[in-house]
Amino acid sequence: MDINWPDIISLVVATILGGAIGFEREVHNKPAGLRTNLLISLGSCVFTIISLNFAGGEPARIAANIVSGIGFLGAGAIIQSRGSIQGLTSAAGIWIVAGIGMACGAKFYFLAISATVLALIALRLLTHFERKFAKEQGDKALFNQDD
């Protein structure tokens, strides 16, 4: 059996990028941390590689099922409690990490890296903006600190 180095590289890149987002979530004690995001990215990459290598298969069919399955995981991350909803950012993070893994599996590395950088910006830099804006407006509902 020959080693398919391009696929191994895809798996490694997916692991690193999913791990980067997961690490950010883990450091800030958020749901769906390092292992979860890393495994979602890696799993999406594996399924994408498999779907692209099926002889006569339809890659779009497996991609659509990855998106559906991730939607199910994301829905599980959302919790309604006492009139507020928590976990939406975690659910969105799960969704983008799956997309990053799929991009890696399809060898779209620039897309995957760009999406990772933008996701990290959204998770960290926009949090500071939201807090400042909410404080200025006096509207605590704008920013949910529990997610």
Ordered per-residue pLDDT tens for the chain, 147 residues: 788 999 999 999 999 999 999 999 999 998 889 999 999 999 999 999 999 988 667 778 888 889 999 988 888 888 877 778 888 899 999 999 999 999 999 999 999 999 999 999 999 888 777 777 777 776 555 455 555
Cα 91 to Cα 88: distance, rounded to the nearest angstrom: 5
Cα 134 to Cα 129: distance, rounded to the nearest angstrom: 8
Task: Dig out the tokens for 13 from the structure.
Answer: 């890149």
pLDDT in the model for residue 74:
87
Pairing relationship of beta strands 84-86 and 79-81 according to DSSP bridges: antiparallel
144 touches 48 (CB < 8 A): no
Which run of H or E residues covers position 85? strand 84-86
